[in-house]
Chain A
Amino acid sequence: MSILNNLINGISLGSVYAIIALGYTMVYGIAKMLNFAHGDVIMVGAYVCFFATGQFGLPPLAGVLLAMVVCTVLGMVIERLAYKPLRQSASLAVLITAIGVSYFLQNSALLLWKSDPKVFTSVVGTGSVKLFGGELTITHVAIVTVLACVVIMLALTWFTGRTKMGKAMRACSEDKAAAQLMGIDVDRTISMTFAIGSALAAIAGVLLCSTYPSLMPTTGSLPGIKAFTAAVFGGIGSIPGAMLGGILLGIIEIFAKAFNTNISDAVVFAVLIVVLLVKPTGLLGKAVREKV
């Protein structure tokens, strides 16, 4: 039964990674940049929900919605102030800026909310479903997390494939200049991508802290890196790839932890290295052929 338990925990953790990875992969696909501040947006989302439900007594759902609104605005502001002026710059400059924004968010959180860990109250309670006479326990949080992940995946697939904004995003990811000449406002499309990615980050933050209730200014940092790994693992730029990468990474991590807690992260990254050696574009990534 412990294998099944681990599998369920792995899928649940992987779902959180997947939701975060979607933000990385969408922004990369469209703006062709790695937004390393994405992990810290998660942390901000979790804090907003924490204060909204804890101190202001809002119902959990309202707390999540408020976190999404705040993160959406935050994501768009970060893009507008930090990344947009660098649109024509070298990608290295944007990368360093993203790392800068990440530290800025962490330290602002430290200043505002102090370093002591807050105990996050799960938005779906602490109940669980017991199966097989109590041998298998599935927490409500795990169920909600996996469901949220599936719903988000389906909604995003539909959004990018079937709506005009989604199509504009795919057009921008293929050829920005051509999209612009067809009358698509690339700046607005990129801003929209950040908005969607950041709203998802808020959901991920709340779900993450509902499972692992200790909330600190650095809470988003490691899950952010792991989710980035998941996005690369699945093939960066690909939405199904981010999902697959996230869930596999979560499962691998939990099983490695069950085997030996100290080396779990090493195992995760070792798997990434092996996958990239065998398939450099990631599991579902498309090979980009250089034109000769």
Chain B
Amino acid sequence: MMGNVNDIKFNKFPIEQIFSRRRKVLITIAFIAIVCGYLIGLNPMRLLNANNLKLAGDFMVAAFTPAMDYENPVPGAEPFLITVVKSVLMTLRFALLAMSVSIPVGALLAFFSTTAWWPKMRNVQRLKPLLMGALIISKSWIAFARSIHELMWGLLFITAMGISTTAAIIAVSIPFSGILAKIYSEIIEEHSREVQELFRSIGAGTFSSFCLGIIPQALPDILSYTFYRLECALRTATVFGFIGIETIGYRIKLSSDEFHYHEVWTYLYVLFGTIAILEWWSRSIRKRLDGSAN
């Protein structure tokens, strides 16, 4: 039967063809964003205000001439560039200390929130409620610690104990160890249990087969994620400068408060460089670790 054009009925507007699933998703997202923008009172005209544009221009022009010395030198102060280097080192040190507290705590939490090392239930029925309890407690602690931003933990600790770097490091370690624990336990659960079963079948206990059969497989992924977290810790360390810890953020705040935009740009470039180097390093490590895992 030859198709006759007149036989085809266009009784419906082909809405399904005009608005494919993808278009629907994009239009919905755009619509929601516009409604949200309206509700929170975003006014596009405010961005184009002449005064704001001038300030923004001044700020951006300063980018081409970062300061090499204080814009308003005080006699007897240490040289500007030494201050810059010291603030970067302090930031790095803060990040390293926070990570070295978070990693063991995170590993411990991860250990208790995975079932991979649990003994076979038939043998030790009495242990089950205990293990289950530990699992529930550590999992809920991880969820709770993660859901409060590190800066809020910092604010709480600093309010309670006064401005102290030790308090800030402990504050950062709470959510960071939670996030590390969540990812560590996910990685452990994801790995195949075949090797573990092999060890079990030749008589190893569940705990030793966990250590020998799962941990070595999971280690590259765990290390790789830990390095990614170190990058995050560096950013967090910067931000803690704004609540009084003497990292590079503190210097940015001081310079910006006095409208020394050239100094601000020096700090921003140094921060950018540090994070870029760390990111490059961490990415090269991760690439090699991923290679050795396969």
A joins B in a complex? no
Spell out B's residues near A (CB within 8 Å). Answer: none
Spell out A's residues near B (CB within 8 Å). Answer: none
